[in-house]
Amino acid sequence: MAKYIYEYKNWTDFSWQDKAINAVFGEVRLMQGKIIGQMNALGFSAKEEATLTALSLDVVKSSEIEGELLNYDQVRSSIARRLGINTAGLVSSSRHIEGVVEMMLDATQRYTLLLTEKRLFGWHAALFSTGYSGPYVIEVGRYRTGEMQVVSGAMGKEKVHYEAVKPKLVKTEMDKFLDWFNNENRLDPVLKAAIAHFWFIIIHPFDDGNGRIGRALTDMLLACGEGSGERFYSMSSQIFSERNRYYEVLQKVQHSSGDITEWLDWFLHCLKNAMLATENTTQKILSKAEFWKLHEHTPINERQRLILNKLFDGFEGKLQTSKWAKIAKTSTDTALRDIKDLVEKGILQQTNEGGRNANYELLDFKLK
């Protein structure tokens, strides 16, 4: 069996081949600057909207990588409340979602604070506020005291993907990690984010939640590098899209003797893809901002505002009277009146599709 990276002496003296990653590293740095520039041109409320979307996606997708589905609207509402963002249609969220959001916001909004053992334990406790992970009781708010294996497959036919650092070594390894995390200032923050993610996952210090905390550390260092808690792209969302490759590369590089070029290369490409995905989101946010600027004096009621915002944020399926009534919690008669009013104002139009139920869509608009 090949040795694990942590079984080598001085295993955290990571090395990589600069030549292999220079091109993609340069692109990532360039795109970071471009996105921040685009966002700064957006104006305050659109920037808030972009941050809210990116953070909500980050929380939802980071949990989804672990097979846990969180309600997007609850996550979004929880973040909006905590950041003091005034947004329509807030819903209350569960205690569990509040905990997950708390961890993510502590990482991204308080990125200048030192990362301490106590702070990490607080994050872990926020993730597992009941002391359970699914049906299992786990050790919460402290480093694990048991062996840790990442396995898959049916009972009796388990495949071991990874065996983490021995429990008695976890604290020593984490002390070294935290010292590096807080004091390493020569490395570029993007590279530091990539290394921190890998290093933390290799130690696997907790009973559960290592992936989510590892991704929060990535976001914290990216925020640090950009000098801002405003997040405009979601790394976790991109990792979710590329999760098979994510695990594949981790599995391969965990057996390296210290060269982590392949991990850095994957991480930088993933980050680049996350930023490319943001360009589409930015377009939507720009359109939304322009739309409301155009209609700042148009009489629009709260129900109409709620649905119009949903149409800009990526509405699933067709907009019909019955769907409007359900989302806006109103009668179909009121929904039809709302729709007809927006059609008359040149905001919505009926689509050409035939069928029993009329479908509606936003009319293309241009700023005069």
Task: Tell whether 220 and 340 lie within a shared domain.
Answer: no
Task: Tell whether 309 and 217 lie within a shared domain.
Answer: no
317 or 194, greater pLDDT: 194
Task: Tell whether 68 and 215 lie within a shared domain.
Answer: yes
Task: Tell whether 16 and 63 lie within a shared domain.
Answer: yes
CB 144 within 8 A of CB 206: yes
pLDDT band of residue 368 (cuts 50, 70, 90) is very low
CB 61 within 8 A of CB 236: yes
Which domain-ending residue is among 286, 318, 337? 286
Per-residue confidence (pLDDT) for residue 156, from 0 to 100: 85
CB 311 within 8 A of CB 365: no
**Spatial separation of the C-alpha atoms in residues 6 and 58, rounded to whole Å:** 29
Which domain-ending residue is among 286, 310, 334? 286
What tens digit of pLDDT does each residue of 131-173 get?
Answer: 999 899 999 999 999 999 988 888 888 888 899 999 999 999 9
pTM of the model: 0.83
What tens digit of pLDDT does each residue of 41-100 get?
Answer: 777 878 888 899 899 999 999 999 999 999 999 999 999 999 999 877 789 999 999 999
Task: Tell whether 214 and 351 lie within a shared domain.
Answer: no
What is the domain range of residue 217?
5-286
- Is 48 inside a domain boundary? yes
Task: Tell whether 42 and 139 lie within a shared domain.
Answer: yes
**Spatial separation of the C-alpha atoms in residues 167 and 139, rounded to whole Å:** 13
Task: Tell whether 273 and 307 lie within a shared domain.
Answer: no
- Is 292 inside a domain boundary? no
What tens digit of pLDDT does each residue of 17-45 get?
Answer: 999 999 999 999 999 998 888 888 777 87
CB 227 within 8 A of CB 308: no
Q: What is the CATH number of the domain that holds 320?
A: 1.10.10.10
Task: Tell whether 195 and 316 lie within a shared domain.
Answer: no
Task: Tell whether 271 and 312 lie within a shared domain.
Answer: no
Task: Tell whether 10 and 32 lie within a shared domain.
Answer: yes
pLDDT band of residue 246 (cuts 50, 70, 90) is very high
Which domain-ending residue is among 266, 286, 306? 286
**Spatial separation of the C-alpha atoms in residues 101 and 104, rounded to whole Å:** 5
Phi then psi dihedrals of residue 240, to 5 deg:
-60, -45
Q: What is the CATH number of the domain that holds 204?
A: 1.10.3290.10
Place of tokens 């220079």: 22
- Is 163 inside a domain boundary? yes
DSSP bridge pairs for 162: 150
- Is 291 inside a domain boundary? no
What tens digit of pLDDT does each residue of 205-215 get?
Answer: 999 999 999 99
**Pick from 201, 207, 203: nearest CA to 246:** 201
Element (H, E) at 348: strand 348-350
Q: Three-class SS of residue 16?
A: coil
**Spatial separation of the C-alpha atoms in residues 58 and 109, rounded to whole Å:** 14
Task: Tell whether 14 and 75 lie within a shared domain.
Answer: yes
- Is 367 inside a domain boundary? no
How many domains is the chain built from? 2
Q: Is the pLDDT of residue 255 over 70?
A: yes
Task: Tell whether 129 and 214 lie within a shared domain.
Answer: yes
Tokens of 295: 């209609």
- Is 249 inside a domain boundary? yes
